[in-house]
Structure 1
Amino acid sequence: MKRWTYTRAMPHFFAAWAVAAAFAFATLPATSQPRPGGTLTWLINPVPSSIVPLTTTAGGNAEIGPKIVEGLLTYDYDLKPKPLLATAWSLSRDGLQYTFELRKGVKWHDGRDFTSADVAFSVLTLKQVHPRGRGTFANVVDVKTPDAHTAIIVLSKPSPFLLTALASTESPIVPKHLYEGTDIASSKYNSAPVGTGPFVFKEWVQGSHIILERNPNYWDKPKPYLDRVVVRFVLDAASRAAALESGTADLANGTGGIPLSDVERFKKLAGIEIDTRISPYLGSHQQIYFNLDTPALQKREVRKAIAQAIDVNAFAKTVWYGYGTPSASPIGKGISRYHDASIQPYPFNPKEAEAALEAAGFKRGAGGTRLKLRVLYNPFQERRAADFVRQSLGRIGIDAAVESYDFATYVNKTYTERAFDITLESLTNLFDPTVGVQRVFWSKNFKVGLPFSNAPHYVNPEVDRLLEAAAVETDEAKRRQLFTEFQQIVHRDIPSIELGANPAITVLAKKVRNYAPTGEHIRGSFADLYLQP
């Protein structure tokens, strides 16, 4: 029986965690009896570096991995926790110990028993090697294992967000007997994983596909219903659209899906469904970051002028085709309990922007250019987004040269070489601001070479104080106020231009049912997915 013990130290966290009713997806009704069997063909782009989301948070790993490896918990669309490898959990009165009762009878795919030793090893490993785990588990000092089916996470300080960080896509539990004593980052099991999940890794043909097969010994029988999942890597958007339209592919999402310009046409196709739900666990969000080490951009008036030159509403209509949800705050509308709706974009005013640049000493020179800036963009944003910024800045005399790179090179250019002046990023808010938002604006998270960290090199002691206080505050009302003050200061400082939640478009064949029943959406397990004739 599931148990969650609320205490005075941590009152009613989930009562306020409501997500908009738009998450309901009535167009995909489930039948009373799932049909077993069949193969799902799933398109993904770009090709991931590995499969398990253990040492990386990249999209492909976070999507494929949870079909094979599992976390302690899963979540509904209100982000309320539900059992997975843990069947019950409680919190001590001082807020410093989480006790998890683990599911019995679970086997790793190689036949070994799953035990609390695997949980302890995984949590302490995530703290060391996972890009966000360093922060998520920063207060973890020990994981006790009094017996094979009990794990106790011991904290030095309260971590009010920790219970929401235990999904398969964020904190996978991996087999201690295969990872212990090895170089975790280079382990062969990152790309040929052994898990406890509904599907077993079969093969990975580089440049072509990954095959996952049904786990006949899965603990949640009769799931999974599919016999096989074939992940195909198709880099060209037109080819993906053709595969989906012809029926040779069944499912695609986000950057692995169709061009936004094709969405309306696909909505009219007889055998296709379009799902526009946004995963509350992922918290889709995109933004523009200034490199505050660039001399010209150290001036707030220059950053404000650039913000006034970019019409974010026009951006949403043209680049996102109206499918996104604009938001001017670093905590977007998807995290409604912390989002400050009073924060609005700086008014679009190119004339005022030009006057501000003049006053700052950037006068038009030869060819009408005031200054030159390098513009990069994460491939998870479209080139069209970077071109929109380039054209917007060109109107006020800024020569914005767009540089295009593959994902790995982009990460190196931005976070190691810091060879950019402006970058269009795609750093999701995730399930809690301490995990998804703090990493960008906390000065102590500026580290050259650390991907998806403090790209602007933003430093504000008061912002640091607010973020650090919110990370350990167990009173929900006080925590909300801390995040409100944080948002207002960042908006005034302008280290970024926040764009909001980018479109979440999933294209699927009508025969595909129940593919995303949890808040992790496509990053869930596919255990419930079945094909309807």
Structure 2
Amino acid sequence: MRLFSRRFGLVAALAAGIAAPALAQAPASAPVRGGALTIGVESDFEGFDPIRAGVYSNSTVTAASLIYDTLMRLDDKGNLIPALALSMTPNEDGSVWVAKLRPGVKFHDGTPFTAQSVADHFNRLLDPANRFAGRAYIAIEKVEVGDDLTAVFKMRGPNAALPRTLAQPTVVTLIISVKQANEKGADYNRNPVGTGPFVFKEWRAADRLVAERNPDYWDKDKPYLDRVTVRPLPDSDARYASLVKGDVQVVWEDRAENIVKAKKDKNLVVLQWVGSGALVIPLNTQREPLNDKRVRQAVSMSLNRKANAAVLSQNLRPVYDDPYAPSSGIVCKDTGTLGYNPEAAKKLIADYGKPVKLTMTVTATPRGREGAQVFQADMKKVGIDVEIKPVDQTQLVKEALSRDFQVTGWRIIDLADVDPQMFANFHSKSPINFSGYNNAEVDRLLLIGRTSLDENKRKEAYCDLIKILNDDAVWLWSGSNIDFAITRKNVHGIPALRGGAVQVEGAWLSK
């Protein structure tokens, strides 16, 4: 099936970078129909109306992927495959993309899925009146209707990466029923309707979300499961214990001790995905004392990132000097990293001439607390006092997006192309630039990365960009983006954990 014009096939392949190894589940035998699956995730859900939720954590993407679909998908090797769209074709310069939609698809309420549905979804997110922060992630100007099964994406400039960007499930790309959102108003956020493999049944806050098999799903062979429950279990040790006991059959996991234990347990299977992006520590450049570059550089040089990552992750997560990671295909010979240099940091603090006190906001989880304690200890060595502020994940996101923080924990999620995240996080006009960073040269380089059809120019721009970001010490790269899930050994068919999401439209249980 023709997904791209010949001219853009190479461009899209290059934009994807080198596919990282994915330890997804190999089928044990023919899939078995029936059964119920329970997934344990890290946090409760922000909600399922992207306007009201603002962002989707990987926990929310896991749940939302039950109910919603994307236009395209990526297989475990990074190849584009059709989903709601059968193909996406660009014009000569990539400023317009035409999506041909799959016929016969229906929303869970029986409404036909058409090009108008696509236009309504994306145009709602792009409408400035809705103040949706996530619109910075995709460079779409508007979506128009060609005919019932033809959606036309008008871009803000040339864009080679759109189909790959739309293939990853995110707060932007998972298509909702705007008709239902308009009819239900605020209630839609807790009662979503989509075209996905499962139909939403209930959501008990901080307890569980339940979805049941969609008998009219467009992929007639799927899903295999009758029922899926997603349970927020913020304590990773309790989450792991529930898996071992059999109360849940799949968990998202990032606690190194549990991953190491699981690899030794014959009843469990560890899934791993090495993606682009990074675990990061954003610094708010608009808040004192971090509005002073000397203080930010001192913080950067005080943090023993590689030693800390080795301890916290038991060497499961290497640390790089940029947020791209090898899977992006962007390899910079010179990143301009400041390196670990506590003596130089002390001199910068002395030059600043005032006591430095910081508050670090983290998730109230073992992972969040442990990372904050390591940060606190490193800062103490150079005379920086750090108070740790643990909050639930929903609150952390809210405070970050409103710039109500000094230091926080975050993640640049794994995407098939680095443009959406880099542009959203660091362009001065982006509503998701929650560090308040403003640098004209960075803006210029980000535009090259977004619009150039020359892959070498894009890579050069991103390497020049990282030297500036590292010198300005805006965000600190604290770990690589490697996602893990652990399953009971009778669980099969879970694909690569892109973006940390556990997707189960093709999952099944052996007897």
TM-score by length of 1: 0.87
2:414 and 2:131 map into 1 onto residues whose CA distance is 17
Structure-1 separation of matches of 2:35 and 2:346: 60
Match of 2:267 among 261, 267, 271: 271
The residue number in structure 2 matching 1:440 is 425
Q: Distance in 2 between matches of 1:56 and 1:153?
A: 22
1:370-414 Cα offsets, whole Å, 9 max, x none, are: 432222225585211111011111111111111222223333444
Please report how far the alpha carbon of residue 23 of structure 1 lies from its aligned counterpart in structure 2 after TM superposition: 1.7
- State which drifts further: 426-435 or 213-222: 426-435
1:501 partnered with 2:480? yes
Residues 199-348 of structure 1: matches in 2 within 5 Å? 199-254=198-253, 259-278=255-274, 280=275, 283-335=276-328, 337-343=329-335, 345-348=337-340
Q: Distance in 1 between matches of 2:95 and 2:333?
A: 33
**Equivalent position of 1:382 in the other structure:** 368
- Structure 2 CA distance, aligned partners of 1:77 and 1:145? 32
Q: Which moved more, 1:404-413 or 1:227-236?
A: 404-413
Give the superposition deviation at 1:94: 3.6
2:145 corresponds to which letter in structure 1?
Answer: K
CA distance in 2, matches of 1:382, 1:343: 27
Distance 2:486 2:42 in 1: 14
Equivalent position of 2:412 in the other structure: 427
Q: Distance in 1 between matches of 2:15 and 2:176?
A: 32
Tell me whether 1:45 sits opposite 2:16 in the alignment. Answer: no
1:466 aligned partner: 445
Distance 1:326 1:32 in 2: 38
1:326 is displaced (CA, Å) by: 0.6
In structure 2, the residue matched to 1:71 is 70
Alpha-carbon separation, structure 2, partners of 1:49 and 1:389: 27
Instruction: Give the Cα–Cα distance (whole angstroms) in 2 for the partners of residues 21 and 134 of structure 1.
Output: 27
Once the two structures are TM-superposed, the CA of residue 250 in structure 1 deviates from its matched residue by 0.3
Aligned to 2:225, the other structure's residue is in SS state coil
Q: Deviations over 1:143-201 (max 9, x none)?
A: 1232x222222234222332222236221222343234775xx2x33322222111111
Structure 1 unaligned blocks of 5 or more: 363-369, 448-452
Q: Deviations over 1:304-343 (max 9, x none)?
A: 22222211111111122221121111333342x2342532
**Following TM superposition, by how much is the alpha carbon of 1:92 offset from its aligned partner in structure 2, in angstroms?**
1.3
Tell me what 1:104 maps to: 103
Deviation at 1:519, TM superposition (A): 4.6
- Given candidates 391, 399, 416, the residue that maps to 1:405 is 391
How big is the shift at 1:284? 4.6
8 Å CA contact 1:284–1:501 kept in 2: the answer is yes
Alpha-carbon distance in 2 for matches of 1:239, 1:518: 22
Deviates further, 295-304 or 215-224:
295-304
The 1:249–1:341 alpha-carbon spacing in structure 2 relative to 1, beyond 3 Å, is farther
Q: In the alignment, residue 175 of structure 2 is paired with which amino acid?
A: I
Q: Cα–Cα, structure 1 residues 495 and 518, in superposed 2: closer, same or farther, change >3 Å?
A: closer
Q: What amino acid is the match of 1:473? A: S
In structure 1, C-alpha distance between the alignment counterparts of 2:94 and 2:260, rounded to whole Å? 49
CA contact (8 A) 2:72 2:84 kept: yes
Instruction: Answer whether contact 1:69 1:168 (CA < 8 A) is retained.
Output: no
* Structure 1 residues 42-191: aligned runs within 5 Å: 42-51=39-48, 53=50, 55-59=53-57, 60-128=59-127, 131=132, 133-146=134-147, 148-167=148-167, 169-170=169-170, 171-180=173-182, 183=185, 186=186, 188-191=187-190
Aligned partners of 2:403 and 2:434 also within 8 Å: no
Percent identical: 25
Could you tell me whether the CA contact under 8 Å between 1:140 and 1:156 is conserved in 2?
Answer: yes
> What corresponds to 1:7 in structure 2?
7
Tell me if the contact between 1:139 and 1:158 (Cα under 8 Å) persists in the aligned partners.
no
- Give, in whole Å, the separation in 2 of the partners of 1:473 and 1:46: 38
Deviates more, 1:168-177 or 1:105-114: 168-177
* Structure label with greater radius of gyration: 1
Distance 1:429 1:520 in 2: 5
**Cα 1:32–1:470, aligned 2, differ >3 Å: closer, same or farther?**
same
Preserved contact between residue 287 and residue 424 of structure 1 (Cα < 8 Å): yes
Does residue 361 (structure 1) correspond to residue 360 (structure 2)? The answer is no
- 1:527 matched to 2:479? The reply is no
Distance 1:24 1:412 in 2: 33
Check if 1:475 corresponds to 2:463.
no
Instruction: Look up the SS of the partner of 1:327 in the other structure.
Output: coil
In structure 2, relative to structure 1, the CA distance for the partners of 1:30 and 1:223 (3 Å cut) is same
TM-superposition CA deviations, 1:44-93 (whole Å, max 9, x none) = 23111323556532223211111111111111245432100111221112
Task: Provide the secondary structure at the position in 1 that maps to 2:273.
Answer: coil
Instruction: Quote how far apart the aligned CAs of 1:349 are.
Output: 2.7
Q: Which structure 1 residue ranges, 4+ long, deviate > 6 Å from structure 2?
A: none
Asked whether the equivalents of residues 426 and 442 of structure 2 are also in contact (C-alpha less than 8 Å), the reply is yes
Q: Is the 8 Å Cα contact of residues 76 and 82 (structure 1) preserved in structure 2?
A: yes
Q: Matched residues in 1 for 2:373 and 2:499: separation?
A: 32
SS at match of 2:412: coil
CA offsets 1:253-301 (integer angstroms, 9 cap, x no match): 036xxx32222222222211112223x4xx4522122222344434433
Distance 1:132 1:19 in 2: 30
Counterpart CA distance in 1 for 2:287 and 2:54 is: 29
Q: Which consecutive residues of structure 2, in runs of 5 or more, have no partner in the other structure? A: none
SS of structure 2 residue aligned to 1:317: helix
User: Matched residues in 1 for 2:168 and 2:296: separation?
Assistant: 39
SS in structure 2 opposite 1:100?
strand
- SS, match of residue 409 in structure 2: strand
Q: How many residues align?
A: 504
CA contact (8 A) 1:79 1:164 kept: no
- Deviation, 1:240, is 1.4
Q: Distance in 2 between matches of 1:417 and 1:522?
A: 26
RMSD over equivalenced CA pairs, Å: 2.6
Match of 1:34 among 11, 31, 34: 31
